[in-house]
Amino acid sequence: MKKLILAIVAIACVSSYAAGQTSKRRAVKTGPPNGIFSPAIITGDLVFTSGQIGIDPKTGQFPEGGIEAQFQQVFKNLTAVLEASGSSVDHILKATVFLADMNDYNAMNELYRKQFKGDPPARSTVQVARLPRDAKIEIEVVAVLK
């Protein structure tokens, strides 16, 4: 019974906190609005990014070079969104990696490891049936503001 009461109190506290934060959310602008989604949303001290694929924003194309090149471009895109939000790659708490092919998992891990100094953020990695524009990789993150 004590566990049930504690669980109800915890849920009430989280719900109360979340309700208070939703009124203080703001969208991050990184370029012309596309009307479909925001590149990131800030609420409280947290930044939630939309998934980023490896499209070069200047050319609108994927870079040549497969998973490695797309991974590097994804991190450039994430860096730009996080910096526009007042955060940085060093402040990422959680990442979700979507792979079009789980055979790219080991290569992605090696590239991912190089992006972080010290302990990397928490991470989930899943294979998906298909990504926008047939991308090989998409990554979304949750970060804390600087």
Structural domain boundaries, residue 83: 25-144
Count of structural domains, the chain? 1
pLDDT value of position 27? 83
pTM over 0.75: yes
CA distance 50 to 70: 16
Q: By the 8 A CB rule, do 82 and 47 touch?
A: yes
> For residue 101, what are the contacts with CB-CB under 8 A and spacing of at least 6?
127, 136
CATH number of the domain at 45, please: 3.30.1330.40
Q: Specify if 17 maps to a domain.
A: no
| Of the candidates 138, 145, 146, the residue with the CA atom closest to the CA atom of residue 78 | 138
Query: Residues in the chain with pLDDT < 50?
Result: 4-7, 9-10, 12-16
In angstroms, rounded to a whole number, what is the distance separating the alpha carbons of residues 40 and 53?
14
